[in-house]
Structure 1
Amino acid sequence: MSTEPRTAVVNVLVTTQLEIDEPTWCTGHRDDRAQFRTDITHNGPEIAAAVDTRRGPTEFLTAWISQTPYGPNGDPLPVLAIEAGGDTLNLDPDEVRAFTNLVRAHCDVIDQLAGELERVRESEGR
């Protein structure tokens, strides 16, 4: 058995402040704490559609400009973040246009369903 002092390497999370450039469109950060530089995200103002229902207004399709300048994807350019179906999509301009075209087409189908709903309700005398 050795009488020499033993050593061990222990990983420690060191907390320090990091000064970063912030784009003019950034409205702040959802969380001012980032464990790693790659966690830093800039967010612009959120824009949401809202529909008034009997239960009150419901927001949907929330969108905002977002940038993760040190992110792991290697693309420091801003994207449009869109919350849809419980997920957040991060889309470039071409993907945004494809998304909005799809939503427009889907809205046309929903309009057609409204007409079908009217016919169903009329046939039931309501």
Structure 2
Amino acid sequence: MSARTVTIVTVDQGEITIPEPAWCVGHHWQPRPYLADITHNSVRVKAGAMTAEHGWVSILVARISHAPYAMVLPQPYPVVSVEVDMVAELAAEDVPKVSQGLRVAAMRLEKVAAEALRLRGGLA
């Protein structure tokens, strides 16, 4: 399998061509970054719960991330980027739904972590 590459125009290095992992969703969200800010991200994995009072509440957003050129916290291999957040006053009837959402969040987070571990053998 041949390696994918992407050409990005950076603020500090001009136009550069770098390897891009197959799992990366692209860099359209990073217009003219500094080289150190270039980050490869996978699709987002989400989990939450549908509540009667608040509708959909997000519990988890996670993705595989890799910032190989970072200066402050260099990442020699893909990591798991995790956002866990929910603040709500819940009706007692909604608590089982949120509990189930937490279980789903845990399973999805474990799957993302397993994939990140698999990718450590190669960044493809």
TM-score normalised by structure 1 residue count: 0.51
Of the two, which has the highest radius of gyration? 1
Separation in 2, partners of 1:44, 1:79: 11
Structure 2: gaps of 5 or more residues: 1-10, 87-101, 107-124
Q: CA RMSD in A?
A: 2.7
Which structure is higher in strand share?
2
Partner of 2:76: 76
Separation in 2, partners of 1:74, 1:15: 18
CA offsets per residue over residues 97-121 of structure 1, 9 Å max, x none? xxxxxx87xx9xxxxxxxxxxxxxx
Quick one: percent identity of the two aligned structures? 34
3-state SS in 2 of match to 1:17: strand
**By how many angstroms is 1:14 displaced?**
6.1
Separation in 1, partners of 2:80, 2:67: 12
Separation in 1, partners of 2:38, 2:14: 14
Query: RCO (CA 8 Å, sep 6+): is it higher in 1 or 2?
Result: 2
TM-score normalised by structure 2 residue count: 0.51
Specify whether residues 79 and 30 from structure 1 end up closer, same or farther in structure 2 by C-alpha distance, changes over 3 A only.
farther
Separation in 1, partners of 2:12, 2:38: 16
Structure 1: gaps of 5 or more residues: 1-12, 87-102, 108-126
Specify whether residues 48 and 40 from structure 1 end up closer, same or farther in structure 2 by C-alpha distance, changes over 3 A only.
same
How many aligned positions are there?
77
Contact 1:34 1:40 in 2 (8 A): no
